[in-house]
Amino acid sequence: MTYRALHRQFASIGNLQHAQAMLSWDEAVMMPRGGGEARAEALATLAGVVHNMISDRRVGEWADAAAEETGLDDWERANAREIQRIWRRARALPEELVVEFSRATARCEQAWRLKRAENDWNAMVEPLSRVVELNRRQAECLGSALGMDPYDALMDGYEPGMRRSVIDPIFEELKTALPPMIDAAIDVQREPMPMPGPFTDAQQAALARNLMRRLGFDFDRGRLDTSHHPFCGGDPDDTRITTRYNPDDFLESMFAVLHETGHAMYEQGLPVDWRRQPVGSSGGMALHESQSLFMEMQVCRSLEFLQFAAPIVRTSLGGDNDDPAWSAENLHLAATRVSRGFIRVDADEVTYPLHVILRYELEQDLIDGSMSVTDIPHAWDAKMTEYLGLTTAGNDRDGCMQDVHWFTGLIGYFPTYTLGALTAAQLFAAALPAGVADGVGQGEFGPLAGWLRSHVHAHASAKTTMQILREATGAPLGTDAFLGHVARRYGTVG
Amino acid sequence: MTYRALHRQFASIGNLQHAQAMLSWDEAVMMPRGGGEARAEALATLAGVVHNMISDRRVGEWADAAAEETGLDDWERANAREIQRIWRRARALPEELVVEFSRATARCEQAWRLKRAENDWNAMVEPLSRVVELNRRQAECLGSALGMDPYDALMDGYEPGMRRSVIDPIFEELKTALPPMIDAAIDVQREPMPMPGPFTDAQQAALARNLMRRLGFDFDRGRLDTSHHPFCGGDPDDTRITTRYNPDDFLESMFAVLHETGHAMYEQGLPVDWRRQPVGSSGGMALHESQSLFMEMQVCRSLEFLQFAAPIVRTSLGGDNDDPAWSAENLHLAATRVSRGFIRVDADEVTYPLHVILRYELEQDLIDGSMSVTDIPHAWDAKMTEYLGLTTAGNDRDGCMQDVHWFTGLIGYFPTYTLGALTAAQLFAAALPAGVADGVGQGEFGPLAGWLRSHVHAHASAKTTMQILREATGAPLGTDAFLGHVARRYGTVG
């Protein structure tokens, strides 16, 4: 009885979240510049309406009553629990703060798109300070309502249950283990032959669609487009991934697309019976990232995959059969090249965690107030120098302005990238003995997709990331599988 | 005080309507087929939320109080009046009916896209019957609440104040005057040389953007894309027009784009101070159509415009300088060719009103229940035979299935096309003596755009279509200017 009311309410909320997802996609992919103000206002109004519908007093009452209700099945009970969790978080935030946050982040993000290109950090101090201030207020509201540390409370919004106390020891292990592995990888790696090019956007998009189709992306329920920053958005039945094309380096967009395809296949693999209900939605962002990195890093940067893909790549781009630059071995050298660089999204999987740890450390200082926005460039430079030996002084475009996240209000999100990398490695190691990856070299991805679907996608939000991981791999989250993978692939052991 | 509350409420409503407009655009232009169900649900939920916000009891109270409020300026008073009108209409409709209508029309439209291609009328009887039934219920609710005839009550939603009693004598005049003019035009016209082709979508789109820019379309606040049916949607600061490309007849998409550009320039010309308020929105659909037909029919199908455009057309499409098919005179012969055909959107301006009158007559029978959906193909064929001498028996694709309108719930909309044509002719005739069209042959559109902006666009919904027309032309709506224009252009007099 009350469960039905909950279900109906969240079906409507899910419908409005569909609108939010599509308008955000459109903003990044289609919207002309002049539409920004109207779009920011529309998204702010929608955020307010959705917030009011979630935090409605009756939702809490219905969820309490549903917890006592008999005759519900496991999924219905899990849905009621998930709704209660979401309700508690929404209830902690006043509507004005939610609306103001939506408006401020939309404007800050729009400004960032222009100002990053101009390397104009000063122009971003004011809008970003506003966003950080609103983030801090949210963290305090959530922390005191949920009895959590404020930064944990933000992180819990992206990966439910994740805490600094779990992450800190893991990140300390990585900070110790990775630097010598980076040195060793750089030391042993061979230089690939230069990649052919340039290639047009249309050529690269044709290649991307070709590979997406082979991996199992369903184009009747999704699209590939171009945006400033690659992402996966939309809806399980209308999953939209984006990329950007570098004419001189087709591997950049190719692997970005393979990454987003992993995200998309998670969405497309969610259980159809639970569309637009909280329990039927994808889980935390660490789990989501594990799906993209499983595809990109574990599967597609392997020599086996590239043996399958090399002729498709060469043919799609009109390459010469006799040119050894197109060989699987050469693509593999390029795809597994390790180097210390400025840009997180261009980083290899060995240096990547250090980019994340830098951001994780700085954003905690922003939230606890020990660092102000004006100090970011200096602090960024100091950590880049310490972790990767590179200075970003005077180059904020490739330093603290490179990522959209903080400018769009995502604080507490960065750690999920590295948690996702660890999870991906752990899942892949667990899947291997079942033989599901045996056909990768022949382009047979069905068994792999089936394993992910039954072990991960099918659970949607009925279980937490940590439950799913433990059931699929028999172990809690750790660094062993990831470090073992790095050691094997990059020749940094025996 | 209460006026501010009204203003705030309708700013939020305007923001959600922005979401509706963009999601509808996306549905027609971007959405993969599998996304249809989720989109229909999202649009239905949004329709319900918007309906509840408009029909809120407090809105009526605020609007009543605002009517008494002192210190409001003319626009604020007009806004309160317009809100009261909208509120009364919304108040007449129960929320369930609005939501169900949104859902039924979204599904029916999606089915139509597939079934029209298959010429499968039978598959559409059930979904269209449902839409017509919901339309009828709306007409009855609105009619009894507003004291209007039910069909008038539907029409009043598209063109406020428009009534059958105004339209019937005008349409009777056209039914009498046009058939002999069609005969005469066909009799005197010369055959154009065949148009060159085929041309790719990309070539035609480049030409379209070129002409749009020259006419004054602002690409910082709008886009051109491809869809199944050309339309103009979006927002005044993000106006989105669409077209479709026929490789063998570039003039089809060229004039469709020029038509939609007229719609778009109206949106882009609305007063910036009144964004997302009812008084700042475009007026009725007859006025909107007058802006597209002013551009397409009065301006762009003239010999003067084509003298300016011919070299741009030829250059954009890579045509041969010496080929006389590219001459302004030949383009003009093609652009003003009269013929009796099946398809409304392909019709010339002389036969077009008969297509509209046919639909106007049939849809009244659908609403008063004297005709059922199953009888449409037969009735359509009978009227096509009577008015245009063509049978559509067995060819519903090019008969009663050709237009999306009924399938998407637009009943009472068709007459606005012909009212728009009459209004366009009357406005153009009134503008001519001011000399604003003198530069058309040299590609100077600024004076024309300025005249439309000050006489039409700037008024937004602060005045009715009939007020705007009377003030701009000194006369009420009539057929004289239109019939005079047809007689001059098609050589059917003197």
Task: For residue A279, give the DSSP letter.
Answer: G
Min Cα–Cα distance to chain A from B41, Å: 6
Closest of A212, A254, A221, A266 to residue A239, by C-alpha? A221
- Distance between CA B253 and CA B230 in Å, rounded? 9
Q: How far apart are CA B309 and CA B440, in angstroms?
A: 10
Q: Does A26 touch chain B (CB under 8 A)?
A: yes
Calpha distance A25→A4 (Å, rounded): 31
**Tell me, what's the pLDDT at B389?**
96
Q: Does the pLDDT at position A114 exceed 80?
A: yes
Hey, what are B418's tokens?
A: 């012909």
Of A18, A44, A221, the CB nearest to B32: A221
Report H helices in B389-457.
Answer: 415-431, 446-455
- Cβ contact B208:B158 at 8 Å: no
User: Which residues on A lie below 8 Å from B10 (Cβ)?
Assistant: none
Beta-carbon separation of B22 and A18 below 8 A: no
Residue type, position A475, single letter = A
For A351-369, the pLDDT digits (tens) are: 999 999 999 999 999 999 9
Catalytic residue, from B260, B267, B289, B296: name it. B260
Please give the full DSSP string across B8-25, using - where no structure is assigned: HHHHHHHHHHHHHHHHHH
Q: What is the DSSP letter of A244?
A: -
Strands A238-243 and A222-226 turn out to be parallel
Q: Write the burial class of residue B148 (CB in 10 Å: 0-12 exposed, 13-18 middle, 19+ buried).
A: middle
The two three-digit tokens of residue A366, written as one number = 């922003």
Nearest to B325 by CA among B399, B251, B246, B228: B251
Tell if the CB–CB gap between B275 and A38 is shorter than 8 Å.
Answer: yes
Nearest to A42 among B18, B37, B45 (CB): B18
Q: What is the mean pLDDT of chain A?
A: 96
Q: In degrees to the nearest 10, what's the CA dihedral of A100, A102, A103, A105?
A: 110
What residues contact B109, with CB distance under 8 A and at least 6 apart?
Answer: B404, B407, B408
Could you tell me the pLDDT band of residue A493, with boundaries at 50, 70 and 90? low
What's the pLDDT at B493?
Answer: 59
The Cβ of residue B324 has, within 10 Å, a number of other Cβ atoms equal to 9
Across the interface, whether the CB atoms of A238 and B39 are under 8 A apart is answered: yes
Under the phi-then-psi rule, with left for phi > 0, alpha for psi from -120 to 50, and beta for the rest, what region is B189? beta
Dist CA B236 CA A32 (whole Å)? 12
In 3D space, the residue among B251, B263, B188, B256 whose CA is nearest the CA of residue B227 turns out to be B256
Distance CA(A341)–CA(A398), nearest Å, equals: 10
pLDDT at A124: 98
What pLDDT was estimated at residue A120? 97
- A30 has a chain B CB within 8 A of its CB: yes
Chain A partners within 8 Å of B276 (Cβ): 38, 41
Residues found in chain B: 494
Burial, A12: exposed, middle or buried (Cβ in 10 Å; 0-12, 13-18, 19+)? buried
The single-letter DSSP state of residue A118 is: T
**CA A464 to CA A153: how far, in whole Å?**
16
> What is the helix (H) or strand (E) element at residue B207, kind and residue range?
helix B201-215
pTM attached to this predicted model: 0.94
Of A22, A41, A276, the CB nearest to B26: A22
Residue B229 pLDDT? 84
A245-258: pLDDT as tens digits: 999 999 999 999 99
- Identify the pLDDT of residue A383: 97
Q: Which of A32, A42, A221 comes nearest B34 by C-beta?
A: A221
Closest by Cα among A137, A59, A158, A97 to A369:
A137
Structure-block tokens of residue A99: 């609306």
B366 Cβ contact partners less than 8 Å away, ≥ 6 residues apart = B132, B135, B136, B373, B376, B406, B411
CA diameter of chain A: 70
Is B218 touching A (CB cutoff 8 A)?
yes
What would you measure as the largest C-alpha separation in chain B, in angstroms? 70
Contact predicate A96/A112, CB 8 Å: no
DSSP labels, A165-222: HHHHHHHHHHHHHHHHHHHHHHHHPPPPPPPP----HHHHHHHHHHHHHHHT--GGGE
* Alpha carbons A422 and A169: distance in angstroms, whole number: 14
Mutation to test the B interface, candidates A7, A8, A18, A270, most B Cβ within 10 Å: A18
CB contact under 8 A, A16 and B221: no
| Tokens standing for residue A486 | 């790095």
- Strand order across the beta sheet in which A222-226 lies: A222-226, A238-243, A232-235
What angle separates helix A480-489 from helix A415-431, to the nearest 10 degrees? 80
Q: For residue B494, what pLDDT is reported?
A: 41
Nearest CA in chain A to B42: A15
The pLDDT of residue B321 = 87
Q: How far is A99 from chain B (nearest CA, A)?
A: 11
Pairing of strands A238-243, B238-243: unpaired
Tell whether the model's pLDDT for residue A161 goes beyond 70. Answer: yes
CB pair distance less than 8 Å for A41 and B31: no
Taking the Cβ of residue A218 and every Cβ of chain B, the question of whether any pair is shorter than 8 Å is answered with yes
Q: Under DSSP, is residue A306 helix (H, G, I), strand (E, B) or coil?
A: helix
Tell me which residue has tokens 């060159």: B196
Select from A15, A38, A235 the Cβ nearest to the Cβ of B45: A15
Closest CA to A244 of A110, A332, A424, A113: A113
Q: B53: nearest CA in chain A?
A: A49
Whether B166 and B423 have beta carbons less than 8 Å apart is answered as no
Q: What's chain A's Rg over C-alpha atoms? A: 22
Per-residue pLDDT tens digits for B454-486: 999 999 999 999 999 999 999 999 999 999 999
What lies within 8 Å, CB to CB, of B71 at 6+ separation is none
pLDDT in tens, A278-311: 999 999 999 999 999 999 999 999 999 999 999 9
Question: Does B252 participate in catalysis according to the annotation?
Answer: no
Nearest-Cα residue of chain B relative to residue A268: B34
Helical H segments across A317-414, by residue range: 328-335, 352-368, 376-388
Is A114 an 8 Å CB contact of chain B?
A: no
What are the φ/ψ torsions at residue A277 (nearest 5 degrees)?
A: -115, 145
Pairing of strands B232-235, B238-243: antiparallel
Answer for the pair B26, A22: CB distance below 8 angstroms, yes or no.
yes
User: How far separated are the first and last CA of chain A, in Å rounded?
Assistant: 63
Is there a contact between B194 and B325 (Cβ–Cβ < 8 Å)? yes
Low-confidence ranges of chain B (pLDDT < 50): 494
The tokens for A297 are 């890093």
Q: How confident is the model at residue A388 (pLDDT cuts 50, 70, 90)?
A: very high
Q: Do B42 and A16 lie within an 8 Å CB cutoff?
A: yes
| pLDDT of A24 over the 50 cut | yes
